[in-house]
Amino acid sequence: MILANQIADGYSTIADAHVLPASHVSYVTGVAIKEYINSTANPVAQIIFKGTVLGTSPAPAITSFSSRGPSIQNPGILKPDITGPGVSVLAAWPFQVGPPSPGPTFNFESGTSMSTPHLSGIAALIKSKYPDWSPAAIKSAIMTTADPDDRSGKPIMNEQYVPANLFATGAGQVNPDKALDPGLVYDIAPAEYIGFLCSLYTSQEVSVIARRSIDCSTITVIPDRILNYPSITVTLPSTTNPTAPVVVSRTVKNV
């Protein structure tokens, strides 16, 4: 069986435990195969097994199922924050998968649910080195040391093999080694998040999020442009004077 992507999935292919012998190909390759099949009465094919191929490019690349920004609720905060590995990850599994099966307790999985554990593990690694750091400082270290380009020094590509924008890559591909020595961090105290939430929601809504009573009228509101976030995004409404100045404030700490 030849499994060809639809156009939306582009070049994104994943490992899967197919019930039939199968080859998974990109959309472009699938189109070429179908054109060849339709061009001759006796199409032939050959599969050459080369084993595991390392160092392929472009890598890393953004897959079709990766979450995209901007944030609808608050476009002044860049989303996603970061990119992590999440395609064909060999991971622990509670039961046998197959045929074929890589083992009784392992499975290949893809998704943001596989990328998240990578980032969580890196956060734990940073916390073990800097036990006094806040979650915001750890997040800052991860984002400010991310790789904005791929292994070849070229722009990170998306599933269509065109350069991915910041609403697909966020700060870039996470780099655990660099994250352990960020140099500078953008830190945020818990109370500052409350001030930020009060710039978006009512007191009742913020109270639900904070799980305690919050009166936004007594709290200094912190808009996104001065929240000490490790990325800077400026939104300009259509009614805004394009020549009007926008003040963005950040404070960094030498670590």
pTM: 0.87
Q: Which tokens is 94 given?
A: 């509670």
pLDDT at residue 134 tops 70 = yes
The pLDDT value given to residue 243: 73
Terminal CA-CA length for the chain: 55
* C-beta separation of 112 from 120 below 8 A: no
pLDDT at residue 32 tops 90 = yes
The pLDDT value given to residue 21: 86
Rounded average pLDDT over 13-36: 91
The pLDDT value given to residue 51: 86
* C-beta separation of 186 from 250 below 8 A: yes
pLDDT at residue 235 tops 90 = no
Task: Look at 26-40, 57-71, 92-106, 150-164 and tell me which has the smallest mean pLDDT.
Answer: 92-106
The region that residue 111 occupies, defined by phi over 0 for left and psi between -120 and 50 for alpha, beta otherwise, is left
**pLDDT above 90: percentage of residues in the chain:** 74
Query: In whole angstroms, what separates CA 196 from the centre of its chain?
Result: 23
3-state helix, strand, coil in the chain (%, to 5): 30, 10, 60
Per-residue pLDDT tens digits for 49-88: 888 888 888 899 999 999 999 999 899 999 999 999 999 9
